[in-house]
Amino acid sequence: MPGNEGEMRPWKTELFQVQRKWQGCCLCIPAEAVQTALKPQFTGTEASGPVFTANKDFCNQDLGPEKTAQPPLAFQNDTEIGARSQQSAISSSGQNDYVVDDGCIAKGAELILQLHHQFSLQPFSHLFRKWVSTGANLALAGPLTEPCASAVDYKLLQCDGTHASARTISRNLFYRSYQPIPLNEETCFDEYCTHFAGESTRWETFGIFLTAICRASVDLAYAEPLYDSEQQRRKLQKLALSYSDQCLDLCLPLDCMNDLQLFLQYENFISHSQVDGDQSYLSWRKLGDVAASLYALGYHQQQTEAFRSAPRFLRELRQIAFCRTYSADKNVSIFLGRPPRILRKFCQFYLPGTPTQPAQRASRTPAVWDSTEKPDFATDSKWAAVCGILKEDILDLFTEENYEERTRRGQLIDADAQAQWNAVPENYRLQSSLKACDRRPVERDFMVNMKLNYLHIHFLLRRALLRPMSTAPAPELFRVSKDMLGLVIETTMLKDQIINSGTSLVWKVVYYGLSAAGFISLTLANQSYANTTLQMDMSRVFQDLSILVGEVECGTLVYIDSPNYALLSQATQTIKCLLNRMITPFQASHNMAILNDGSWGLWDDSSFQDFEINFWHNLAEHPFLNG
């Protein structure tokens, strides 16, 4: 959410005008087109759109050797192409060549030269090593970051700074990116890595590593000599993310969708949400791209023979990819008040297992957990998917017009949510204060994520069970809001004692914290019916709201140029006004009549959550705050 947000919800008007320099790079040209001169728009400078061969499969995913889709392009040698052609050929070990537009080779070479000149390998390798040493990593592609880092190091050392060497590297990367990765049930992880590292390095390899660099700069406040100020840090984040985008834009138009591209797409989306903001149209579109790729690869139907024939480690990565994307789809949809794009009724997916615990089909039936394991990215993804299922069913409640039926279904969801939480091993659950939790920093963050997700389910459910336009007290919803805000504030205060495990602190504050603070603030403002609720530990509520205001105003949570600053700034201004008003004698005569006419009910039931910037703008106009 960069800059100052306007009134448009949820994205600024100018965000719809995003122009991508690298979009539309023409990569694969049919052999018969080689003899035809290229049109001006395909020279690589003003490409109008990707051009795919007409006879290609929709996706060329990672298949077993006996099922590998063969490249549909005709093969030609350089001597057959001739000097008149504006095409280049990608070759490897004397094999037949794939014809690729010269403009794309040039774009890839330009990126290689930029990385060679601007990316000093030693400092960036040090940044990456420092980041992973904390226990942090990419939530999905984490197992691949080490081999990707080594592969990028290896490839860039082959560049001597000349265009010739950069073009050679670019041509080879295109060739490798076009190759399917041969797989069977016996393929081990190390063997899998050989197909995207060393001489087999692909554009996806570069993209995953550059995304990891972006994420490391998001998590680490200081990393000299790369950056020692917030401005330098933000510059590096945007630079690394732009390089990640370029790698993605170079390999996607090859029309050879595979697991590596899917993993890169997901991690690229997460980085955009952190760098551009959670209300950015670009990050919203990136999430849609991940969902589209999951469907294209068929990973929404995981009971198929093709899915089960993959090696165990890859099946688990695919399951984690679906679980995390499914969860993100629900959370972002709720946050923005937009419909989800992945619906469970069209999917059969499984929760990732462990070496001793097989994968199990995702449902509302309590999941089975391995209590001998510690919280990690797989268990975090598993719980995220479980919560996503419950949240999707809660969202369906908002479309139920019969309140009795809504209540009946809500009670079933409530029972299932409690059963799911009870099934989670105690060593996964945060049952004490965060300060008293004696775990590794990254494990603390996993446990905070699980607890916040659980509380958020109860928050949404009790929100859904409020009668439309109701002005009756909602003590249960207030209690859940108080608990959720309290955990967010405690996590914020102890941010130096946790490590980002895939869900950033700012997202916790914006998504969970502002939801809770929004309900609490509106309840406090509606003095006409808040008296019952006000009996509940209000000193803690005032303390948490005050800390939230202080963290934002002092710049310890977000900087003024941070993407979510506008939303947090507007929210905390309204909360600060509310707190000041609460300690001022309230003149009830005129304003109480306005409050009692029902026009300031809890919600108008027009959206799922509505705690983004317009909510806080409207709350600032509340009669109580202007009395």
Dihedral, CA atoms, 355, 356, 362, 368, nearest 10 degrees?
A: -140
Which amino acid is it at 222? Y
Q: Is residue 74's pLDDT more than 60?
A: no
Note whether 211 and 241 are within 8 A (CB).
yes
| Mean per-residue pLDDT, 385-390 | 98
Query: 83-87, 336-340, 540-544 — which is least confidently predicted?
Result: 83-87
Nearest to 274 by CA among 558, 482, 491: 558
Three-class SS of residue 89?
A: strand
Query: 166-170, 442-446, 521-525, 594-598 — which is least confidently predicted?
Result: 594-598
Which amino acid is it at 447? M
182: alpha, beta or left? (left if phi > 0; alpha if psi -120 to 50): beta
| Whole-Å CA distances, 27 to 90, 107, 383, 398 | 11, 11, 40, 46
Please, which residues have CB within 8 angstroms of residue 317's CB and are 6 or more apart in sequence? Answer: 140, 143, 259, 263
**What tens digit of pLDDT does each residue of 410-425 get?**
999 999 999 999 999 9
Note whether 87 and 100 are within 8 A (CB).
yes
Query: 40-44, 283-287, 346-350 — which is least confidently predicted?
Result: 40-44
Q: What is the pLDDT of residue 522?
A: 86
**What tens digit of pLDDT does each residue of 549-593 get?**
999 999 888 888 888 898 999 999 999 998 888 877 555 544 554
Q: What is the pLDDT of residue 152?
A: 96
Spatial separation of the C-alpha atoms in residues 463 and 395, rounded to whole Å: 10
Q: What is the pLDDT of residue 531?
A: 53
**What tens digit of pLDDT does each residue of 151-165 get?**
999 999 999 999 999
Note whether 176 and 202 are within 8 A (CB).
yes
Per-chain mean pLDDT for the chain: 82
- Identify the residue whose tokens are 């393929």: 187
Spatial separation of the C-alpha atoms in residues 199 and 93, rounded to whole Å: 11
Nearest to 70 by CA among 53, 51, 47: 53
Note whether 618 and 341 are within 8 A (CB).
no
Please, which residues have CB within 8 angstroms of residue 584's CB and are 6 or more apart in sequence? Answer: none
Q: Is residue 85's pLDDT more than 60?
A: no
**What tens digit of pLDDT does each residue of 10-53 get?**
443 333 333 333 434 444 434 343 333 333 333 333 333 333 33
Angle in degrees, CA 148, 287, 153, rounded to 5? 15
Which amino acid is it at 255? D
Spatial separation of the C-alpha atoms in residues 118 and 121, rounded to whole Å: 9
DSSP-derived letter for residue 34 is: T
Query: 34-43, 93-102, 515-524, 614-623 — which is least confidently predicted?
Result: 34-43
| Total residues belonging to the chain | 627
Structure tokens at 608: 């799922």
Query: 155-169, 174-188, 557-571, 611-625 — which is least confidently predicted?
Result: 611-625
| Mean per-residue pLDDT, 326-331 | 98
Q: What is the pLDDT of residue 582?
A: 80
**What tens digit of pLDDT does each residue of 251-273 get?**
998 999 999 999 999 999 999 99
Q: What is the pLDDT of residue 616?
A: 75
**What tens digit of pLDDT does each residue of 430-487 get?**
999 999 999 999 999 999 999 999 999 999 999 999 877 666 678 899 999 999 999 9
Spatial separation of the C-alpha atoms in residues 54 and 179, rounded to whole Å: 18
Q: Is residue 117's pLDDT more than 60?
A: yes
Domain edges within the chain: 15-287, 298-429, 469-627
% residues pLDDT > 70 (the chain): 77
Residue 88 binned pLDDT confidence (cut-offs 50, 70, 90): very low
Q: What is the pLDDT of residue 155?
A: 95
- Identify the residue whose tokens are 């070990």: 93
% residues pLDDT > 90 (the chain): 61
More confident residue, 533 or 286: 286
Three-class SS of residue 29?
A: coil
Note whether 116 and 159 are within 8 A (CB).
yes
Q: What is the pLDDT of residue 545?
A: 96
Spatial separation of the C-alpha atoms in residues 572 and 550, rounded to whole Å: 8
Note whether 321 and 294 are within 8 A (CB).
yes
Spatial separation of the C-alpha atoms in residues 10 and 567, rounded to whole Å: 11
Structure tokens at 29: 């040209």
Residue 533 binned pLDDT confidence (cut-offs 50, 70, 90): low
Nearest to 569 by CA among 587, 555, 581, 590: 555
CA 234, distance to chain mean position in Å, is 18
Q: Is residue 373's pLDDT more than 80?
A: yes
